[in-house]
Amino acid sequence: MEQSNRLTRDVLRSLLGRFPTGGDLLPEIIERVDLGDLIREKIRYQAESGEWIPAYLFVPKPRTAPGPAVLCLHQHAGQFHLGKSEPAGLAGNPEQFYALELARRGYVTLTADFLCFEERHDPRFEGNNHERFEFTRRLVEGSTLQAKMAFDAMRAIDYLCTRPEVDPSRIGCIGHSLGGQQTLFTAALDERIVAAVSSCGFASYRTIFRDLINHNFSLYVPRLLDYGDVGDILALVAPRAFLAVVGNADRIFPFDGIVESVETAKRRYRALGAEDRLDLVAVDGGHGFTDYLREKAYAWLDRWLVR
């Protein structure tokens, strides 16, 4: 697909529908734990008025001057009992402990529960019915679940920018699966993200629909295909740094749809003289964030955020 330039940031924002309105963050520190090399804080801050987002923040020791920070967005995996605790290294799959690992690499990291996960999951719903409810309700209200998910990620960046340990000019974002998808959308919408890494987070809608693949409800944006495809969303990140790390046998993100999306975006990066700021690392394998891929991801963030 040729880069259409029809999908601008303003157009994407309009397709997402009514965006939530943010007010004062009113942040609170609930718990502070000294891990020796790090401080882990359990915090909360407001998304919309009266709606609190629980999160974990890691601060390396010692931190004598503002430095880089990374927003770490958690996966889906149908595990609604998990959210922020997995990147924080408190539960789940060690492949997903990237908030903890990046903090030990010198970054301030923040990981928060997405709506429908962990402390933001409503136990009255079984399976994915909470997610489905939030999606369908927002469509009727003239919005989308993607608008809410992206807004909440942007509120996390708002919070990071309030911390004296953080240099607001050096903010990154990383995520796997749902987190990788939301890294893409958030980086496309929020130019405060300087460098991003998406692990197993996207492929073109064309190939997803071709292969009859169902996805999480926040992926679906009405009329988006009238303006482009996933590659056109990725092109909105240009000229900022973006790395995709993937398995070439991922069952839910067809590899040709990944390559197609990156190639579409590359045309925009090339036009801006920033072709070195977009890259794809593919390995033989499926939907995982292996040690090798995490090291590639962390090195990418180091390249663009550490000075």
- What is the rounded average pLDDT for all residues in the chain? 96
What mean pLDDT do residues 269-278 have?
98
Predicted local distance difference test score (pLDDT) of residue 144: 98
Q: What's the rounded Cα separation, in Å, for the pair 306 and 5?
A: 32
Q: At what angle do helices 145-160 and 178-189 cross, to 10 degrees?
A: 70
Q: pLDDT tens digits, residue range 208-253? A: 999 999 999 999 999 999 999 999 999 999 999 999 999 999 999 9
pLDDT in tens, 152-172: 999 999 999 999 999 999 999
Where residue 39 falls among pLDDT bands split at 50, 70, 90?
Answer: very high
Contact of 301 with 199, CB cutoff 8 Å: no
CA distances from 128 to 77, 113, 258, 274 (A): 11, 16, 26, 40
Alpha carbon 126 to chain centroid, angstroms: 25
* Predicted confidence (pLDDT) at residue 149 exceeds the cutoff of 90: yes
d(CA 165, CA 176): 25
Calculate mean pLDDT across residues 248-276: 98
Dist CA 12 CA 1 (whole Å):
18
pLDDT of amino acid 268: 97
CATH level 2 (architecture), domain 9-305: 3-Layer(aba) Sandwich (3.40)
Q: Cα–Cα distance between 216 and 25 in angstroms, integer?
A: 28
Q: What is the DSSP letter of 18?
A: S
Could you tell me the residue ranges of all domains in the chain?
Answer: 9-305
Res 22: pLDDT: 87
Percent of the residues in the chain that have a pLDDT greater than 90, as a whole number? 96
pLDDT tens digits for 19-31? 999 889 999 999 9
Rounded Cα–Cα distance for residues 56 and 45 (Å):
11
Res 2 pLDDT > 50:
no
Stretch 58-67: mean pLDDT: 92
Residue from 135, 126, 132 nearest 222 by CA? 135
172-210 pLDDT per residue, tens:
999 999 999 999 999 999 999 999 999 999 999 999 999
Checking if the pLDDT of 88 tops 60, the result is yes
Q: What pLDDT does 5 receive?
A: 61
